[in-house]
Amino acid sequence: MTYTDTRDKSVKTDFRTAVMNGMNETTGGLYIPTAFPRIPEECIKRTPEPNFRDIALAMAKPYVEGEIPDADLAALIQDAYPFAAKVVPVDPTAYVLELFHGPTCAFKDFGARFMARVMSYFNRGEDTRLHILVATSGDTGSAVGSAFHHVPGLDVTILYPAGKISPLQEKQLSTFDDNVRALKVNGTFDDCQRLVKTAFTDAQLRGTLRLSSANSINIARLLPQSFYYMYAALAVRNQSWRVSKIEEPAIIVVVPSGNFGNLTSGLIAREMGAPIAGFVAATNTNRTVPDWIATGDYEARPSVATYANAMDVGAPSNYERITAMYDLETVRRLFASYWLDDDGIIASIRSCFERTGYTIDPHGAVAWKAWDDIRSGALRALKDGNAGDFTKPGLTPNLPTWADSVLDKQAVGIILETAHPAKFGATVAKATGREPVIPDRLEKVMQLEDRAIPMENDYAQFKEWLLATL
Ligand SMILES: *Cc1c(COP(=O)(O)O)cnc(C)c1O
């Protein structure tokens, strides 16, 4: 596969370069494959559908062709995914896709674990270790730390702002041993990011250490997220007659979004043949993308804190990939777009629980409410020319091509549940009156010893520590 750049289509590079560089430092653009090949028809048609790892293998193959042999790729996937995504029907036209069965209980495990193993694979021949520096405001740090833990040839240093993340998040990223360590920085998330960025541009440091980043713009985090869209779409299609009494439903995937990496992965899966009719881009109060879809003007803004805090992004980085793939009119035909404020998130968690018995987390709750509104009247109003005020929570005024399937009751929704509700226990309890059951792997991490190393918000001290420790 050849990869190009969102800002300069004349760029041609391979998978290894795209992964190891993360982004194109010359243009500031993001890497993107030049094609999204359909997976074999046999794979798409088969009933029952292939299992998650077989789908992962079929989908990953074309992107690493000539760089990772099939047997190595299969071993890598086997090692990355001892868990899978799970489809749970909660009512006849709503399916929840649970993406929290990995070690840190959030969907970022899917991307981070694949990327860690790909980086390790490409680092095999090197006689020096590769040092990953990552600044985190919460969940990315634990997914990356966990994904790289004990992976050969790689070291990870996580920087997080002291006192500014939840106690559970802190435990999840500060208790690793071996090749992963956490620095508890006396400063803000922006300070952490500045320390990391300064290190990357420090020529003297880079002359001594091989440094790399692991942030969410890396193509090796995006591609593997497309696996579960394919898996879920095939699984839902195959059970839709039994569950929904619909033979060939239009499948709409509802994606709670922040940086829009997850949704971009969905677009890739659809290009590769996943039977997905369209998407709902659902956000919290950080509605940069809904506003863009509604008005045509893209305006990044500072992020606002919400209950769905992993989606608190005002300048979503994958906007650049989405617009490299499609123009605005195509996006308006393919996506409905929806946003929800904090009161709406609490009400949504409650209504989902009361009506279906399913405990959903604040991120999934944004998607649940979007789908529930869409199937129960919001699209009808749009079609009748009564678009709501998009500056209030709700749908943007564009009418997607799949609207008629919903109105004709021939559509089902897949709601992506991106985190386990127990990670946001207090918010969930506020809505439902009860604390979610904590999975063993979260319970265990609470018992581990905190190994975070205190660090001043001072580059000279950080650099000295790096040189002395790594
Ligand atoms: C990161 C995250 C999101 C947002 O995903 P994007 O790819 O940034 O759009 C949603 N929910 C949870 C729980 C997350 O951790």
Burial class (CB in 10 A: 0-12, 13-18, 19+), 62: middle
Containing 450, the helix (H) or strand (E) segment is none
Report whether the peptide linkage leading into residue 48 is cis, meaning its omega lies within 30 degrees of zero: yes
Q: How confident is the model at residue 361 (pLDDT cuts 50, 70, 90)?
A: very high
Of 280, 311, 321, 424, the one to substitute when testing ligand 1's pocket (max ligand atoms within 8 A of C-beta) is 311
Cα–Cα distance between 126 and 231 in angstroms, integer?
Answer: 35
Cα–Cα distance between 364 and 460 in angstroms, integer?
Answer: 42
What is the model's pLDDT at position 22? Answer: 87
In the chain the first and final C-alpha atoms are separated, in Å, by: 34
Percent helix, percent strand, percent coil in the chain, to nearest 5: 45, 15, 35
236: left (phi over 0), alpha (psi -120 to 50) or beta: alpha
pTM attached to this predicted model = 0.95
What is the model's pLDDT at position 189? Answer: 85
What is the model's pLDDT at position 237? Answer: 97
Alpha carbon nearest to ligand 1 atom 8, residue: 259
Cα–Cα distance between 376 and 158 in angstroms, integer?
Answer: 44
Cβ–Cβ under 8 Å, residues 226 and 268: yes
Decide if pLDDT at 200 tops 90: no
Cα 263 to middle of ligand 1, angstroms:
10
What is the model's pLDDT at position 25? Answer: 80
Q: How confident is the model at residue 428 (pLDDT cuts 50, 70, 90)?
A: very high
Q: How confident is the model at residue 26 (pLDDT cuts 50, 70, 90)?
A: confident
Cβ–Cβ under 8 Å, residues 205 and 211: yes
Alpha carbon nearest to ligand 1 atom 2, residue: 310
What is the model's pLDDT at position 463? Answer: 97
Task: Note the pLDDT tens digit of each residue in 140-167.
Answer: 889 999 999 999 999 999 999 998 888 8
Cα–Cα distance between 286 and 341 in angstroms, integer?
Answer: 9
Cα–Cα distance between 461 and 459 in angstroms, integer?
Answer: 5
Task: Note the pLDDT tens digit of each residue in 232-280.
Answer: 999 999 999 999 999 999 999 999 999 999 999 999 999 999 999 999 9
Q: How far is CA 409 from CA 48, 234, 377, in A?
A: 25, 19, 12
How high does pLDDT run on average in the chain? 95
Decide if pLDDT at 318 tops 90: yes
Cα–Cα distance between 363 and 342 in angstroms, integer?
Answer: 11
Alpha-carbon dihedral sign for residues 428, 434, 438, 442? positive
Task: Please state the separation of Cα 165 from the chain's center in Å.
Answer: 19
Cα–Cα distance between 405 and 89 in angstroms, integer?
Answer: 19
Q: What are the pocket residues of ligand 1 if the criterion is a CB atom closer than 6 Å to any ligand atom?
A: 106, 108, 139, 256-262, 310-311, 363, 418-419
Cα 139 to middle of ligand 1, angstroms:
9
Cα 258 to middle of ligand 1, angstroms:
6
Cα–Cα distance between 131 and 214 in angstroms, integer?
Answer: 10
Decide if pLDDT at 451 tops 80: yes
Cα 45 to middle of ligand 1, angstroms:
30
Residues 6+ apart with CB under 8 A from 392: none
Type of residue found at 7: R
Place of tokens 């749908």: 395
Task: Note the pLDDT tens digit of each residue in 73-102.
Answer: 999 999 999 999 999 999 999 999 999 999
Cα 167 to middle of ligand 1, angstroms:
20
